[in-house]
Structure 1
């Protein structure tokens, strides 16, 4: 919140006692407080947005959002939302922005606007170590879980389904991992950092591995992750872009990045 400053009372004049003293000047009107920034998140996407042991939302996206709000003198108020209702909720003005690892794609740009990107990572396919992978045709008949309305779902439907792979969509990525553990699906397609930190690095992910090449075709995966906002919110977009540039320049972004991603070989998720 901005500091509210008022003018001080002027000093009394040094004239003779009989002389009238100057009247105190009126205090300057305080600056109006900026409204809260209502931020939609889907806390099922570790390490970007997830629930901590205390039940509160945390992760890279959450820390980034709070740092950005501090920079632009707003207070972040988070609204948890199911992923495939994110854009409809934004359009219905349930919140002001989406800061939840949403990729900037042509399809989404037809509906909403985006800030400049604030990170860019690639996706990967994950399968059981016992499964031999040599392209989509080699896993014909296998069941691959993806998040509903995600860029990974779009890729799977475009590249795996035509090869005879069964694409199974879920409301959230953590539901994908539950079914992987239960043996109801054979693999997933997910963001490389998310699937590494949220599944492969944990005991339940030890029987699985990354397969195939890095997946980053702009046709499916867009040009990076940005802040989603309504078309026409030009002033807010400019403010957010200036804020992103500022925390990139003052070291705050790097501090948040290193908190979550230094363990991946000093990965800079902002990308090139």
Structure 2
């Protein structure tokens, strides 16, 4: 089975020390029998052939397994930190790191049992691994619309490469109640790849368009709310701060506490002085 990262372009393989760190962590987790999945650039390449320089390795786990994962890594000399308690931990070594992901930055795409039930068996860095399902990759990436990062192209590449194999009904259910986000990406797919637009089942498009029609002709919500914060942690701060709109991430509408939001906002990179 081929490696998840092809050596076809210089720099695609991690340097030796980094690769050794990645392999050691992966071997440690394999030996622990704690369920985990590899995602990020490694999984994207395996599904689509898109090659990308990556700064880290993304490992997906269930939230409840984080203590066990941390203990397994501690026993071989690694310490984990929890910079963002609502979705992500990190393990560091020699200036590089691995992300331990159990949700998403907006706390929508929680890693649950279905991620593991539908994962694919592959090979990463010469080791047998399971990678995140394409459906869950699409779901989690669909909300990333920051000014400096937009994962829409990744989604379109996944749809083009895997559209014929996708579990469309499961993907559709993942986007409830955020079905408009799915519609946006599927409409964009038909624009970017017009000859492949039949990869998206007509029944899915018909249902989404009918929902849009019904919603367009219904009364709007009574409360002023901004769901843009589910797409970007920075670009809608004025709306929920200065303009006083309700933050769509915050409970009970969303899954984030005020403390989660404050920590996530504090970590926004500051612009470099000219």
Report 1 or 2 for greater relative contact order, CA contacts < 8 Å, sequence distance ≥ 6: 1
TM-score where L is the length of structure 1:
0.27
TM-score where L is the length of structure 2:
0.27
